[in-house]
Amino acid sequence: MTDIFNYGTDHLTIGICLDIAAGKTKGIINKEAADMIKSSWREVEKIVHSHHPVYGINTGFGPLCDTRISEEDTSLLQSNILKSHSVGVGKPIPQEIAKLMMITKVQALAQGYSGIALATLERIIWHIDNDIIPVVPEKGSVGASGDLAPLSHLFLPLIGLGEVFENGGRIPAGELLKRHGLQPLLLGPKEGLALINGTQFILAFAVKAVQRLDDTLNRADLIGAMSLEGLMGSIRPFDERLHQIRPFKGTRMVAHRLFTLLDGSEINSSHISCDRIQDPYSLRCMPQVHGASRNAWLHLKELTEIELNSVTDNPVIFNADDTISGGNFHGQPLALPLDYATTAAAEIGNIADRRCYLMSEGRYGLPKLLTHDAGLNSGLMIPQYTTAALVTENKTLCFPASADSVPTSLGQEDHVSMGSISGRKLHQVIDNIEYIQAIELLYAAQAMDFRRPLKSTPVIEACHQLVRQHVAFIQDDRVFAVDINSLHKLITDGSLLKTAGEAAIAHQIDLSHDEFGIY
């Protein structure tokens, strides 16, 4: 049975939002929300008939806010805004992101402060339920007056314009509507503005980033633990007592995970009495570095969930005599944490690259470049060049887009967030980290093989076995790009984390932490 979510009245979490997009949960408008929506719609009708000037209902937009619009032209005004603001450029955003935009927009509008018609929301839900996804260009939003350009493209199909994806194809929206026996909507007063005012482009990227960064951080602990085993590092720095006296939430969580992953390892037990005093930072400071990124993730998650349940329209309609033209559409509350999260994500790649380098140095009993016959074979010399290139690319992406502002709309919109760029950059960084982690996994599995016949813990061994099912031990040089891509697939399709999770459950090992969930 499919779970039900009530738009506008239930609390939307990141996990529920992703489940609606995946078809695991169905979003509906119940009677309570429908009544709120109809009430707000009636208040807008009163405004139109009263001729009292209210921004975007019977006035122009932006710098044209002092231009009055006649009652008979209020509907034309709303369709014109969708057309004129559809100025996005670049390749289409992923269909899942566009679908998340629609889901988050319905949640905002269904709260009854926007004057939207119930039929309009029902048409958007039809798109969601039938997986008919508008084509939305990736570039063009400055993230302030709402994500105007991408939201305009998102909702052009409502009036029979633009394009949509259906069943893998890309077709004109007008043709799609005819095929399904539907007519383009005639937007009423305020509807066009309500549709395009909001942060749903930024928000959709944030929702997906919370999920992807969570996976990235979980893999960082897991692969980092494998690297530590390969390098015969100590688990003493993960002792809970150490982190109780500097109790950052993320640090304590990572220390707990690492200690739990490694406790009872034969590899670890074999060198407890060795004369090594300290490990390099990339090993012993994993709780502090991974944990700091966890704290950034937690902050992004918290603010994203607030935005998921917020009204980001303008003006906000309390009643016909009480409307406020404010700035709830401004993207700054998400732009800043997205930029913070981008730096936090990049650091996960930076420290992973250092571990790759460490494993190639020939220290702690490992052969140089992790190969028996270095010289004739280059071994794992060059994959670390790739991690070095990727971490440097990530560093260039860490400049905060939110630190810049270019005035628009003839100066009416004189400070903008650029949060749309923040959201897109974060995903670019995560894309690169997925390759960095694939390369570290290649190194870590190879290093662990040099510790045989000693074994690690059940979770680590299960992950090592998964790697060896797809990538053989490296005896001689080969085309390592093939290996990297094989491991990249295990990372991006969730196989590595799934394998770790199943092994943890089978051996009653608790790696979870409720506060760091997305539901």
Phi, psi dihedral angles at 89 (to 5 degrees) = -135, 165
State the Cα–Cα distance between residues 91 and 72, nearest whole angstrom: 38
Kindly tell me the burial class for residue 147, based on how many C-beta atoms sit within 10 Å of its own C-beta (0-12, 13-18, 19 or more). buried
* C-alpha Rg value of the chain to the nearest Å: 26
Torsion sign across C-alpha atoms 119, 123, 128, 133: negative
From start to end of 320-361, where are the E strands?
Answer: 322-324
Q: DSSP string of 62-116? A: GGGTTSB--GGGHHHHHHHHHHHT---EEEEPPHHHHHHHHHHHHHHHTTS-S--
For 418-453, letters b (16+ CB in 10 Å) and e give bbbbbbbbbbebbebbbbbbbbbbbbbbbbbebbee
Residue 291 CA: distances (Å) to CA of 152, 250, 254, 348, 437: 39, 4, 6, 10, 17
The H or E element spanning position 293 is: helix 286-308
Helix spans in 110-157 (H): 118-129, 148-155
CA 1 from centroid of its chain's CA atoms? 27
55: annotated active-site residue: yes
Nearest to 293 by CA among 237, 393, 224, 214: 214
Q: Which of 339, 307, 299 is nearest to 200 (CA)?
A: 307
- Tell me how many degrees the CA angle 144-74-310 measures, rounded to the nearest 5: 35
Whether the CB-CB separation of 304 and 138 falls below 8 Å is answered with no
DSSP 8-state secondary structure symbol assigned to residue 358: H
- Per-residue b or e along 113-137, where b marks 16 or more CB atoms closer than 10 Å to that residue's CB: bbbbbbebbebbbebbeeebbbbbb
Lookup: tokens for 383: 């994959």
Q: Which of 7, 55, 113, 443 is catalytic?
A: 55
Closest CA to 424 of 92, 20, 23: 92
Pick from 480, 416, 411, 410: which is nearest to 445 by CA? Answer: 480
Catalytic residue numbers, as ranges: 55
